[in-house]
Amino acid sequence: MAALALVMTGAVALPANADFFLTPFAAIKFAGTARIVDLEQGASNTKFALGVVFGELGDGVLGVEGDVTYVPRFFERATGSLIARSHVLTAMGNIIVALPLSQTGYSLRPFLSGGGGLLLVSIDDVLGIFPIYRNFLGVNVGGGAVGPLTNVVDVRFDLRFFKSLTRENEERLRAGSALSFWRAAIGLTIR
């Protein structure tokens, strides 16, 4: 993830006054779909998630960020008994397009963000018959806003869509992606 963020940082010319930021966040995963073994049909359920976003964004329009999200119990239902444990971990490198500070001043600063990376899927069933440990290439796109609380702390709201890219065969391409979901997050940004 760090290497991907470094490559993206080098690919985008950032102004000398770019601010490094770190945003730990809490999130809700919702509206998920899975075309892989989902014994309890739990991918569509709403789940709590944790993560961190880090990157650089200056006074101008462009920036870069790394986004890591951990969603425990992704494929499990509250009443299910077939899956012992499951999770999805995302690691994405994104380009940020934000309204410049000259336009927003010290109020909410809207942004769009998107990029690619990995979705790591882990599912252990109770009997150990259908364990799944897969890494998928994926994309994400979203947007939100950042607003100042103090000189060094902001609050960040974010809504984002994640989707795996399946290239194994034509049948899967027609059937759709192996995994997709939405994430709504809120966090405190430290600059």
pLDDT in tens, 66-105: 999 999 999 888 776 787 789 999 999 999 999 998 888 7
pLDDT over 60 (residue 1): no
Tokens of 158: 């974010």
pLDDT over 70 (residue 2): no
Residue ranges per structural domain of the chain: 20-190
CA–CA distance, 94 with 175 (Å, rounded to integer):
27
pTM of the model: 0.85
Give the residue among 175, 184, 183, 140 at the shortest CA–CA distance from 34. 175
Residues 42, 74 contacting (CB under 8 angstroms): yes
Q: 3-class SS at 74? A: coil
Supply the pLDDT for residue 67.
Answer: 98
Supply the pLDDT for residue 9.
Answer: 47
pLDDT per position as a tens digit, 145-167: 999 999 899 999 999 999 999 65
- pLDDT band at residue 5 using 50, 70 and 90 as cut-offs: very low
User: Candidates 3.30.1490.20, 2.40.160.20, 3.30.70.2740, 3.30.428.10; correct CATH number of 20-190?
Assistant: 2.40.160.20
